[in-house]
Amino acid sequence: MESAVRSRIEVGIVLALSLGASAVYSVVSIVGRLTDDRPLGDQSAAINQSRSTREWLDFTYQFLDVVFGLAVVALALYLLWRPGADPFRRIGLDLTRPARDVASGLLLVAAIGVPGLALYAAGRALGVTVAVVPAPLDASWWTIPILVLAALKAALVEEVIVVGYLFTRLRELGVGPWATIVSSALLRGTYHLYQGFGPFAGNVAMGIVFGWCYTRWGRTMPLVVAHWVLDMVSFIGYPLALAWWPGLFAAPEA
């Protein structure tokens, strides 16, 4: 009993320090958006924006954001570490089967990427999704490398915390696999809710697919690969889509 209480408290603390806090802020954000005078479809959300007008300071801020953003990943792995059990092996975050993990990850990209883009476009057309404003790719020579690192950070934080760590702890607490999958997927959708209801639904669906794959494979590495590729496409490819199809992707005029 005491162990179960400690595990619940631990899970609460880890989520409060990471994506649970993001989910709460996202709920507050969507409430603010829905009570705004402007319709949801006329609003925008900026991602990966500059942190300073001075180039070296902007780079420093963004690099440190990546480095310290991974601290919660280190915390989760540390908490999963026990005598005789490597936490990386425990959640399948290792390089024991790289070819299969990459192939599985790319398969997930194909299964999720195109429907996700279609869902975003549909959400914009229906006015239930805000316009996402990406960082310009030509801001500095280091912009694309930093975006690649930011995508890797997001992939590790989300897949290690919301899948590897959370699934392990909920299993230990006796929660069934489908209850765990659905709970994890709803959490994933909620911390994307600030972008509107289209991204919420898309990320819930992604969470169900990723959660099911994890219960089958017992590995987070394919999920990290898929998430990293999807976010790189979003962070780097999105500005190109913005230029090609401004009617669907451009932010509304203020």
pLDDT along the chain (254 residues), means of 10: 89 97 97 94 86 92 96 97 91 96 96 81 83 77 93 98 98 97 98 93 95 98 97 79 56 52
| The predicted structure's pLDDT at residue 72 | 96
Between the CA of residue 35 and those of 30, 40, 198, what are the distances in Å?
9, 9, 18
101: left (phi over 0), alpha (psi -120 to 50) or beta: alpha
> What is the pLDDT, as a whole number, of residue 119?
80
Question: Do the beta carbons of residue 198 and residue 128 sit within 8 Å?
Answer: yes
* Alpha carbon distance 59, 48 (integer Å): 12
Q: Which pLDDT score is estimated for 216?
A: 97
Check: CB of residue 48 under 8 Å from CB of residue 235.
yes
The one-letter amino acid code at 156 reads: L
Q: What is the pLDDT of residue 50?
A: 86
Contact (CB, 8 A) for 167 and 182: no
Containing H/E element for 217? helix 197-217
Tokens of 40: 């949801």
pTM confidence score: 0.91
